[in-house]
Amino acid sequence: MVDFQCSYCGKAFPQLELKRCARCHSDLYCSRDCQRASWKYGHKQRCKVVPMDPSSPEWDEHLLDKQLNRWIDTWERILWTLGVLALDLPHRPDNIQATHMAVICISPRPHMSNPAQCYKINWGGVWSHERCKSTWPEVPLAPIEELEPNRARLVITMVDEEGDLRRTYVLSCQLGRIEEYRKLPKEFSRKIASRWVSVLAALLDRGDVEEANRKWYKPFS
């Protein structure tokens, strides 16, 4: 039988054992706890009621959300990994993951049949909490004091072909243990942190998610 993954903890289950999010119908959860945690750490922003009428303007927005959510789900592990590596943890203060975060800006790449390749990265950087708050007041960034110490965040902004800002999301990275990233060889960490945007751009260009996960994703579990 084909197994499905819980959208939060990532463990595989037969589909019938998972409950679908009642609002957006897109995420699957193995338990109430996973659903609650997922809501708190980001699903809230992405969860939208599916509109009824395919000829309404809401429908286009719905399709956009669907495409973008699918893209984020596809690349989630890579986005987390590089979002954490961007922070160069071995060289930075202990609370860097609370005060700073990786930020990327993506835009659609039209006419791409591979859903993994339907967005390209325009730029990326590491921004302070304050800078993110003042640039995108609408982004629901939890106050620094409320963050769990082991979480890092990644802000994804999407602009359309005209350069208009269409979506902003915060991914809360619960990837392995942050301490493990602190123990990375310093030279390696510095090198990756200085070029994480081009590494990410190259992976997105290639569109080979499996290969990218194999090479970059280390769950440290």
Which residues lie near Zn ion (CB under 5 A)?
A: 6, 8-9, 21, 23-24, 30, 34, 47
Tell me if 9 sits within 8 A of 76, measured CB to CB. no
Q: Which is nearer to Zn ion, 45 or 107 (CB)?
A: 45
- Provide CB contacts within 8 A for 129, sequence distance 6+: 98, 99, 100, 101, 141, 144
Question: Please, what is the minimum distance in Å from the beta carbon of residue 19 to Zn ion?
Answer: 10
Strand stretches in 53-118, DSSP E = 100-108
Q: Which is nearer to Zn ion, 11 or 186 (CB)?
A: 11
Secondary element (H or E) of residue 201:
helix 186-206
- Lookup: tokens for 221: 């579990």
Question: Please, what is the minimum distance in Å from the beta carbon of residue 66 to Zn ion?
Answer: 12
Question: Please, what is the minimum distance in Å from the beta carbon of residue 172 to Zn ion?
Answer: 15
Q: Which is nearer to Zn ion, 47 or 173 (CB)?
A: 47
Q: Which is nearer to Zn ion, 6 or 102 (CB)?
A: 6
Kindly provide the b/e burial profile for residues 28-57, where b requires at least 16 CB atoms within 10 angstroms of the residue's own CB: bbbeeebbebbbebbbebbbeeeeeeeeee
Question: Please, what is the minimum distance in Å from the beta carbon of residue 26 to Zn ion?
Answer: 6
